[in-house]
Amino acid sequence: MNILDYIRQRGDLSFKADPFNEVDNLVFSQLIYAGFGGSIENNERIKIQDLAKRYFSSPDNNGKHGKSFSRDGLLVLDAIKDTERYKDCVIHNFVSILHEDTTEQFEACMIDLPDKTTVICFKGTDDSLIGWKEDCYLSYKSIASQDDSVRYLNQHCNIFRKYRILGHSKGGHLAIYSAMHCNPFIRSRIIEVVSNDGPGLRPGSFDEKEFNKIKDRYELIVPEKDGVGTIFEMAKNKTIAKVSTKNIVEAHSMMSWQIDANRIKKAEGDSYQTDKTRIALVNFLNESSPEQKEIFTEEIFKAFNEAGITTVSQLARGGMPVIFRVIRELAEMDSVARSIALNLAKTFSISVSSGLGFSKAVEEKRENLRAKAKNIEISLASKLIDSYLKEMKEKEKEEQ
């Protein structure tokens, strides 16, 4: 059962009959991806049912499905619009900012619930690689959206209501960042802060004493196949969600997270702790300096652009041919960036092959790569592959 199944099965229950729960958190964190721009006027307060009616009756939006998380946000909006649980919830203070030149993507809204609390939703990264590039920035520097999130809470919250701060991906990061840095009077009115597979805060970038004031109200929810929430884990309370996919990109989508009644289905602890991709990403982040991360981020997204990749959907659907196009572009990087890229490839290769005989892992890697590359023009990529496979064999000889 996923979010949509939950809405269909439990949408008739009011918040009085079944108080706000962790799946409602997923529903609202997904809803913000729908994109309300053009459907909500400045300073307007509107019920979800009326917003949906206005949105879907517009010729510009009728039949619009969007892509990736945006599409899923529209599916949620359509599913909740007539339910007893959600239809009368009031959305207000919708804000949307997008500056491509400064790599700034920020969107937020408030939702008043019948239980007299207000949910604040921060939108995360959408299908555009611009948003994912901003996520990468978080690993080594501050971003403009952080200031936007703090300003949003300080401008729109008051001491007469209680707040739940939620978000997915970068939105989850903004939830904890804004809760830590907002006005202390506003912070005292926060009931909970939930990050759904969002990056934590970079070590050295925050005051530990300030974090301690909010940490008991902060929860991190991550899928068992994790990539984004792995970055700078810092939550005292963490839930590992069972997912319906083995694809790490698809696992980032809350639509793949499994639901049991009104709770998120928990994954076996081992599946998270031993996930090879997660371990490789953590190792890469820990071993790279801020300067290396900056070089790699700028060059890898340049490679995506040169390879004609502008969305996450393209990357997920393209498989190995797309990856090899990117590798070919990596070959044109400056020597520092190329070295970092090769180190990342080796880190992932070693992590994935851990637990196997090293020689067997090298040979299996060669055969798999050759099979995928057989009908693709990737001469430069082949040279890169041969280069790091050769290094792996040489390292193996040294260790024997």
pTM of the predicted structure, to 2 decimals: 0.79
Residue 140: per-residue pLDDT: 84
Residue 321: per-residue pLDDT: 64
Confidence class for position 375, pLDDT limits 50, 70, 90: very low
Phi, psi of 123 (to 5 degrees): -75, 140
Sign of the alpha-carbon dihedral angle for 19, 21, 23, 24: positive
Phi, psi of 90 (to 5 degrees): -105, 125
Residue range 280-326, pLDDT digits in tens: 777 777 777 788 778 777 877 877 777 777 776 776 666 556 666 66
**Which tokens hold the place of 54?**
């206005």
Q: Are strands 237-241 and 162-168 parallel, antiparallel or unpaired?
A: unpaired
Distance CA 10, CA 7 (A): 5
Residue 64 has pLDDT above 70, yes or no: no
The whole-chain average pLDDT of the chain stands at 80
Residue type at 215 in one-letter notation: K
Residue range 98-111, pLDDT digits in tens: 777 777 789 999 99
Residue 174 sits at the vertex; the CA angle it makes with 170 and 178, to the nearest 5 degrees, is: 175
Query: Within 10 A of 286 (CB to CB), how many other CB atoms are there?
Result: 7
Residue range 359-373, pLDDT digits in tens: 455 555 555 654 554
Across the chain, the runs of DSSP E, i.e. the strands, are 46-47, 90-99, 104-112, 117-122, 162-168, 190-196, 218-223, 237-241, 259-260, 263-264
Residue 96 has pLDDT above 60, yes or no: yes
Residue 277: per-residue pLDDT: 67
In the chain the domains, ranked by start, together with CATH numbers, are: 3-274 (3.40.50), 277-399 (no CATH)
Confidence class for position 182, pLDDT limits 50, 70, 90: very high
Residue 99: per-residue pLDDT: 78
- CA 42 vs. chain centroid, Å, equals 28
